[in-house]
Structure 1
Amino acid sequence: MNVTTTRGALLAAFACVLVGASFTANSVLGEYPYAGGQFLRYGLACLLLLPLAGKGSTARMRALAPRQWVRLILLAAIGMVGFNLAVIAAERTAEPAVPGVFVGCAPVVVAVLVPLLDGRGPRRAVLYGALLVAVGACAVQGWGRTDGAGLAFSVCALAGEVGFAVLAVPVLRPLGPRLLSATVCAVAALESAAVGVLVDGAGWLRRPDAAEAAALLWQAVVVTVVGFVCWYMGMQRIGAERATLFSGLIPVAAAGTAPLVGTGSYGLAQAAGSALVGLGVALGSGALNLTAASRRIGGRARRAAPAATFRGNDRPEWRGVRAPEMPE
Structure 2
Amino acid sequence: MTVQNSATAEAPIAVGGTALAALGVVAFSLTFPATAWGLEGFGPWSLVAVRCVLAALIAGAALIALRAPVPERRQWAGLAVVAGGVVVGFPLLTTLALQTSTTSHAAVVVGLLPLTTAAFSVVRTGSRPSRTFWVSALAGAAVVIIFTVEQSGGALSTGDMYLFGALLVCAAGYTEGGRLAREMPGWRVIGWALILCLPLAIPAAAVALAIEPVHVTAHSIAGVAWVAAGSQFLGLVVWYRGMADIGVAKASQLQLGQPLLTLVWSVVLLGERLPVAAPVAAVAVLVCIAVTQRSRTR
Q: Could you say which TM-score interval applies, normalised by the shorter chain?
A: 0.7 to 0.9
- TM-score w.r.t. length of structure 2: 0.81
Q: Is the 8 A contact 1:36 1:204 kept in 2?
A: yes
C-alpha distance in structure 2 between counterparts of 1:220 and 1:197, whole Å: 17
C-alpha distance in structure 2 between counterparts of 1:239 and 1:197, whole Å: 39
Q: Is 2:50 the partner of 1:43?
A: no
Partner of 1:19: 28
Deviations, residues 146-201 of structure 1 (Å, cap 9, x unaligned): 26x54432220210231221122342233321111211222344444465577x48
Gaps of 5+ in 2: 1-9
C-alpha distance in structure 1 between counterparts of 2:76 and 2:205, whole Å: 23
1:315-326 to 2 correspondences below 5 Å: none
Pick from 180, 183, 187 the counterpart of residue 174 of structure 1: 183
Gaps of 5+ in 1: 290-328
Partner of 2:272: 264
Q: Is the 8 A contact 1:140 1:251 kept in 2?
A: no
Instruction: Report the AA paired with residue 24 of structure 2.
Output: A
Deviation at 1:277, TM superposition (A): 1.7
Deviations, residues 271-321 of structure 1 (Å, cap 9, x unaligned): 12211221111110118x9xxxxxxxxxxxxxxxxxxxxxxxxxxxxxxxx
**Higher-RCO chain (CA-CA 8 Å, sequence separation at least 6):** 2
Cα 1:82–1:273 change in 2 (3 A) is same
Instruction: Report the AA paired with residue 18 of structure 1.
Output: A
Partner of 1:159: 168
Q: Is 2:126 the partner of 1:115?
A: no
C-alpha distance in structure 2 between counterparts of 1:18 and 1:32, whole Å: 21
C-alpha distance in structure 1 between counterparts of 2:95 and 2:227, whole Å: 16
1:219-258 to 2 correspondences below 5 Å: 219-258=227-266
- TM-score w.r.t. length of structure 1: 0.74
Cα 1:214–1:242 change in 2 (3 A) is same
Q: Is the 8 A contact 1:7 1:234 kept in 2?
A: yes
Structure (1 or 2) with the greater helix fraction: 2
Deviation at 1:262, TM superposition (A): 5.0
Q: Is the 8 A contact 1:169 1:240 kept in 2?
A: yes
Q: Is the 8 A contact 2:52 2:198 kept in 1?
A: yes
Q: Is the 8 A contact 2:124 2:175 kept in 1?
A: no
C-alpha distance in structure 1 between counterparts of 2:161 and 2:266, whole Å: 27
Pick from 68, 75, 78 the counterpart of residue 57 of structure 1: 68
Q: Is the 8 A contact 1:128 1:283 kept in 2?
A: no
C-alpha distance in structure 2 between counterparts of 1:184 and 1:156, whole Å: 20
Deviation at 1:79, TM superposition (A): 2.6
Instruction: Report the AA paired with residue 257 of structure 2.
Output: L
Identity %: 19
Q: CA RMSD in A?
A: 2.9
Cα 1:85–1:9 change in 2 (3 A) is same
Deviation at 1:239, TM superposition (A): 1.0
1:178-193 to 2 correspondences below 5 Å: 178-193=187-202
Cα 1:257–1:175 change in 2 (3 A) is same
Partner of 1:284: 292
Cα 1:132–1:13 change in 2 (3 A) is farther
Q: Is 2:148 the partner of 1:141?
A: yes
Q: Is 2:205 the partner of 1:202?
A: no
Counterpart secondary structure, 1:167: helix
Instruction: Report the AA paired with residue 90 of structure 2.
Output: F
Q: Is 2:139 the partner of 1:132?
A: yes
Q: Is the 8 A contact 1:77 1:191 kept in 2?
A: no
C-alpha distance in structure 1 between counterparts of 2:136 and 2:203, whole Å: 39
C-alpha distance in structure 2 between counterparts of 1:127 and 1:79, whole Å: 24
Instruction: Report the AA paired with residue 57 of structure 2.
Output: L
